[in-house]
């Protein structure tokens, strides 16, 4: 099967990425036990995952501006080929190394599919980023529940990760066509890997890093919180990331249908406030149902932050450097993935996981204030 529509190809790419990371979040407690890692060691391994993504993201954006959408299926295929690696880890050191490699290919795929979506959005004049990220979140729901069922029947991490890696490879094969060539930049317009980043992009990337910190905390630690703090069985703990992602799907679909150009600030402020409220509820919850409700509220809030920021950045960039700008802002945003897991794991080791997750709620309320006062760049045409 080959996909002909650029819009459909972008949606399939986001769904493939979500399928894998939904499985990753739901399988993380089993992966932690298999690799015999403490909370702090798991946090460090997740830092290696994010650092691998940081290494590849900006470079992928620069290459995308030169090569166009034909790079996307190659990036998706590379991610699929490395998707089985986490299941092989049997020690904290192995887990860190394998997650670094996985992070590098994941970062390349992330930038490629976002750059594709930005170009399709601009070419068609129709919004796409929130819808595409909704496909990601919807796929996370499906794979989270599926992983919980696989664990329930006794599947170990090697089997789980191999299965979902194959799914990503099938998506890469389907995406071989469907990307319309972009206008080729002149030699003088070619973006360079080593060049300055404008202040507005640094600000957007920093805000996105805080949003990703909150989002990745619940995707990565939600199941662990339910199993260890509230004694939930594996099949129930998998509902944490699943409900979080389901709420993100609903939030993104709602914004895609209802939000209008010029309402980006309102969307961001409301999203961060909801993320803070939900995180607070989930962190202090006395029982599993309350924690799940809090995660759902947090997911609905987190949902709109990343796609809105990427869309703002892409529309503010010149056409010949859109992928580079997407790669740059995504790299900055992933700093939240780099710092967040280490802080959450380290604080949980020093105090409790409840306190660590409560600090994420405070961070979300700070982000609400920042979204209310920062200056957002205007769209650029031509």
Is 18 within a domain?
yes
pLDDT at residue number 194: 47
Is 235 within a domain?
yes
How many distinct structural domains can be found in the chain? 1
Q: How confident is the model at residue 178 (pLDDT cuts 50, 70, 90)?
A: low
Helix axis angle, 71-82 to 39-67, nearest 10°: 160
Is 207 within a domain?
yes
The pair of three-digit structure tokens given for residue 336, joined into one six-digit string: 């939240």
CA dist 126 → 102, 299, 319, 344 (Å): 33, 25, 16, 38
* Domain extent for 338: 6-177+199-373
Q: How confident is the model at residue 315 (pLDDT cuts 50, 70, 90)?
A: confident
Above pLDDT 70, what percent of the chain?
92
Question: Which has more confidence, 236 or 340?
Answer: 236
List Cβ neighbours of 91 (8 Å cut-off, separation of 6 or more).
35, 36
Q: How confident is the model at residue 119 (pLDDT cuts 50, 70, 90)?
A: confident
Question: Which has more confidence, 180 or 258?
Answer: 258
Is 337 within a domain?
yes
pLDDT in tens, 53-106: 888 888 888 888 777 788 899 999 999 999 999 999 999 999 999 999 999 999
Using an 8 Å Cβ cutoff, are 357 and 344 in contact? yes
Mean pLDDT of 9-38: 89
In the chain, what is the straight-line distance between the N-terminal and C-terminal CA atoms, in Å? 35
Q: How confident is the model at residue 113 (pLDDT cuts 50, 70, 90)?
A: very high
pLDDT at residue number 341: 65
Q: How confident is the model at residue 335 (pLDDT cuts 50, 70, 90)?
A: confident
Is 333 within a domain?
yes
Is 184 within a domain?
no
pLDDT in tens, 263-298: 889 999 999 999 999 999 999 999 999 999 999 999
Classify 190 in phi/psi space as left (phi over 0), alpha (psi -120 to 50) or beta.
Answer: beta
pLDDT reading at 31 higher than 80: yes
The SS3 assignment for 129 reads: helix
The SS3 assignment for 6 reads: helix
The pTM of the full predicted model, rounded to 2 decimals, is: 0.77
Number of Cβ within 10 Å of residue 28's Cβ equals 24
Task: Single out the residue of 279, 271, 252, 296 nearest to residue 359, CA to CA.
Answer: 279
The pair of three-digit structure tokens given for residue 40, joined into one six-digit string: 């702090």
pLDDT at residue number 155: 85
Classify 197 in phi/psi space as left (phi over 0), alpha (psi -120 to 50) or beta.
Answer: beta
> Quick one: how far is CA 300 from the chain centroid?
14
Is 151 within a domain?
yes
Highest mean pLDDT among 110-124, 242-256, 289-303 belongs to 289-303
Is 186 within a domain?
no
* CB-side neighbour CA atoms (13 Å) of 210: 24
Task: Single out the residue of 349, 368, 220, 347 nearest to residue 295, CA to CA.
Answer: 220
pLDDT at residue number 181: 56
Q: What is the CATH number of the domain that holds 66?
A: 1.20.1250.20
Highest mean pLDDT among 30-44, 110-124, 222-236, 288-302 belongs to 288-302
């Amino acid at each position: 099967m080959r996909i002909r529509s650029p819009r459909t190809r972008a949606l399939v790419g986001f769904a493939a990425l979500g399928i894998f990371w939904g499985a990753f979040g739901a399988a993380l407690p089993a992966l932690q036990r298999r690799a015999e890692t403490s909370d702090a060691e798991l946090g460090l391994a997740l830092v290696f995952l994010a650092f691998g993504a940081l290494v590849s993201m900006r470079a992928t954006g620069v290459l995308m501006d030169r090569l166009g959408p034909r790079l996307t299926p190659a990036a998706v295929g590379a991610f699929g080929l490395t998707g089985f690696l986490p299941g092989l880890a049997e020690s904290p050191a192995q887990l860190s190394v394998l997650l670094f490699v996985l992070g590098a290919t994941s970062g390349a795929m992330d930038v490629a599919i976002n750059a594709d979506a930005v170009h399709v959005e601009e070419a068609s004049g129709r919004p796409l980023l929130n819808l595409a990220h909704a496909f990601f979140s919807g796929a996370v729901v499906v794979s989270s529940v599926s992983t919980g069922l696989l664990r329930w029947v006794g599947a170990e991490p090697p089997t789980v990760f191999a299965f979902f890696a194959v799914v990503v490879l099938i998506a890469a094969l389907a995406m071989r066509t469907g990307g319309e060539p972009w206008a080729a930049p002149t030699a003088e317009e070619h973006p360079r890997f080593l060049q300055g980043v404008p202040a507005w992009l640094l600000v957007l990337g920093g805000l996105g890093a805080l949003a990703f910190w909150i989002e990745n905390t619940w995707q990565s630690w939600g199941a662990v919180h339910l199993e260890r703090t509230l004694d939930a069985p594996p099949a129930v703990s998998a509902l944490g990331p699943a409900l979080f992602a389901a709420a993100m799907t609903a939030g993104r679909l709602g914004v895609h249908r209802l939000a209008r150009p010029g309402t980006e600030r309102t969307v961001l402020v409301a999203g961060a406030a909801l993320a803070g409220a939900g995180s607070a509820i989930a962190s202090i919850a006395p029982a599993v149902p309350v924690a799940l409700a809090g995660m759902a509220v947090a997911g609905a809030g987190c949902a709109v932050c990343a796609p809105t920021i990427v869309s703002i950045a892409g529309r503010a960039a010149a056409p010949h450097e859109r992928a580079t700008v997407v790669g740059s802002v995504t790299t900055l945003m992933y700093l939240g993935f780099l710092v967040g897991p280490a802080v959450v794991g380290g604080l949980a080791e020093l105090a409790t996981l409840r306190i660590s997750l409560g600090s994420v709620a405070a961070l979300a309320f700070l982000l609400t204030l920042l979204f209310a006062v920062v200056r957002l760049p205007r769209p650029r045409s031509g």
